[in-house]
A = this chain, B = another copy of it.
């Protein structure tokens, strides 16, 4: 019996030979595995052998597609992050509503993205590795931070123009993002280690409330 028989009732697909040639599918699978392992262990502790095994290939094959561990790491960051930035920009460009609603919507969107998609793991990775890979940090600033800040600025400008918002200085925009970043960092490192995850929706809602109106009681009397 050289070829194992396919069990009755299973998919009519072919039984996979030990070594399949799948040049097109490999890079994506490798990058998926790399995200998994890099985000769990950090750059130095992640082993190419483990990434390869998770992708269902040998280490030699991994090095056929990526010239080094470092290049693999950078490619993984690009593939994970860039599509999501573009999508956020399109959402912002098409948004129809008040600046307040848009601000709340942006935070809620980021919270949902971080909790459902693996981009949520990127802030932790970038912060951990920025010192060792300044080049990566520069890429991150240019391709992610700048573009996210631009989206936030467009919301603020809309709000100021409509008389909804007070002006906000450019250097302080990061403060408006900080609760969502904290959420991602917490849920990807300290939270799981301690069994106390944060609820993304609740954090987004509370952050929007604080940042829009603050925790002080409104002065009713003049």
Binding site for B on A (CB under 8 A): 40-42, 44-45, 100, 124, 126-128, 130-134, 137-138, 140-141, 145, 156, 159, 163-166, 168-169, 171-172, 174-179, 181-182, 185-186, 189-190, 192-194, 196, 198-199, 202-203, 206-207, 210-219
Interface-central residue, A178, A179, A202, A207, by most chain B CB under 10 Å:
A178
- The count of identical subunits is 2
B contact residues around A179 at 8 Å (CB): 174-175, 178
Q: A interface, by DSSP: helix, strand, loop or mixed?
A: helix
Smallest Cβ distance from A158 to chain B, in angstroms? Answer: 12
Closest to A181 in B: B182
Cα(A207)–Cα(B210), bound, Å:
10
Q: Return 8 A-B CB contacts under 8 Å, by A number.
A: A42-B44, A127-B127, A137-B193, A141-B194, A159-B216, A166-B215, A174-B198, A174-B203
Q: Are A131 and B210 in contact (CB under 8 A)?
A: no
Cα(A169)–Cα(B207), bound, Å:
12
Q: Are A189 and B41 in contact (CB under 8 A)?
A: no
B contact residues around A198 at 8 Å (CB): 171, 174
Smallest Cβ distance from A11 to chain B, in angstroms? Answer: 35
Closest to A222 in B: B220
Smallest Cβ distance from A219 to chain B, in angstroms? Answer: 8
Q: Are B194 and A137 in contact (CB under 8 A)?
A: yes
**A44 in complex: contacting residue of B44, B190, B192, CB < 8 Å:** B44
